Amino acid sequence: MEASRQGPAEGPLSGIRVIELGNLIAAPFAARLMAEFGAEVIKVEAPGEGDPLRKWRKLHEGTSLWWYLQSRNKKSVAINMRLPEGQEVVRRLVRDADVLIENFRPGTLERWGLGWEALKAINPNLVMVRISGFGQDGPYRERPGFGAVGEAMGGMRFTTGEPDRPPARTGISIGDSLAALHAVMGALMALIHIKAGRGTGQVVDVSLFESVFNMMESLVPEFDAFDFVRTRSGGALPGIAPSNSYPTVEGTYVIVAGNGDGIFRRLMGAIGREDLGGDPRLASNDGRVRHVEEIDAAITAWTSRHLLNEVTAALDRAEVPNGRIYSVADIVDDPQYLARDMILPSTLPDGLSVKMPGIVPKLSETPGAVNWLGPALGEHTATVLARLGYGEAEIEALVAKGAVAKGAVAREPDAGGAP
């Protein structure tokens, strides 16, 4: 992995130790974000195949490219948590951990003797982040829940897509990613509570459906006060006008957000419709919403006569927010992405050069960094267990029992920090 240009290896979370007991998306993404900003993240995987994400989406030499991204800066320890010996290794890991992140179905860790009460007794200052489909209590707690289900229950699917078509999805696992962001936010708030001397550890209970629901703006009060059910609106932003995608002469689309009062007047001037810009009916958003079809038709009539570059140039001159709709081919060569280090050159273990996304957010004094890509399964088992006090003979005995598995010798990171 080529060194990140975004900052030193030691970030704002340096000294924070995170244990990740997660698979696939939500918990691993949360842990990845913390690892990028300096936390030591020890990822516990099952011996054999490890995290199923290793085989998801496009593979190179048998390993998912998504895996290399999702697990960068992490250490992989292969532990069979179904065996008592494996459970004991996890307990030892918890002794000096600050955060544990997991996304098992509620009750699973309790059956393995690794629930909150057991772990709190070992480390009272532990922050245990628990991500599940429906939360740790309530009538749905034991149901299996993936991001798609959370998106549906949280209200997002009902409002996504064209009005005359079935509910659509965004094309990414947005429910899982939103849960991951809420998980990091909760973990950091709980850590601040401890570091400020105001209390001890606690559980951060994050559900997929609630993380999606938290994004749904004024959905509930609008229904309660007006019996209004927000539904699918295609490319338009409901209740805010004008804000939509509009066709150009070459068949592409442009996003135009002319919903501020002054912006709307400038937009109408740019398209030659000063009559609409000065119309008192359209002076504020509530009036424009009532006449949104007329406004959209006027904008469409103008954009459909011009090339995309002509449309964006004219709207830029008028200081109207607008933008082309980017594909990944647009993203990787865009000067703004490149200027902000959002496309990072990376090198896979076999030497293949691959572009990877950069780090968000940007911190001026303690930025995040990429030190290494996702590790081989069990790559750090031996070194981590040795640090926990296991002797070489004990480690070999655990390997023989199938409680742990060792991978390749741990690689030294390319941009500082110890593996």
Q: How many CB atoms lie within 10 A of CB 44?
A: 27
Reported in sequence order, the residue ranges of 68-212 that DSSP labels E, i.e. its strands, are 74-79, 99-102, 127-132, 202-207
Give the Cα separation of 181 and 147 in Å (integer).
Answer: 13
What letter does residue 379 receive in the DSSP assignment? T
Buried b (16+ CB within 10 A) or exposed e, 227-264: eeebebeeebebbebbbbbbebeeebbbebbbbeeebb
Token pair listed for 155: 């209200």
* Residue 261 is among the residues annotated as catalytic for this protein: no
Given a contact cutoff of 8 angstroms between Cβ atoms, the answer to whether 133 and 209 are in contact is yes
- Asked if 1 and 350 count as a contact pair (C-beta separation under 8 A), the reply is no
HSE (side-chain half, CA atoms, 13 Å) at 258? 31
Q: Which of 51, 98, 176, 296 is catalytic?
A: 176
* Rounded distance between C-alpha atoms, residue 31 and residue 104, angstroms: 15
Integer angstrom CA distances of residue 106 from 144, 145, 169, 228: 9, 11, 26, 35
The 10 Å CB-count burial string (b at 16+, else e) for 333-363 is eeeebeeeebbbebebbeeeeeebebbeeee
Active site residues: 176
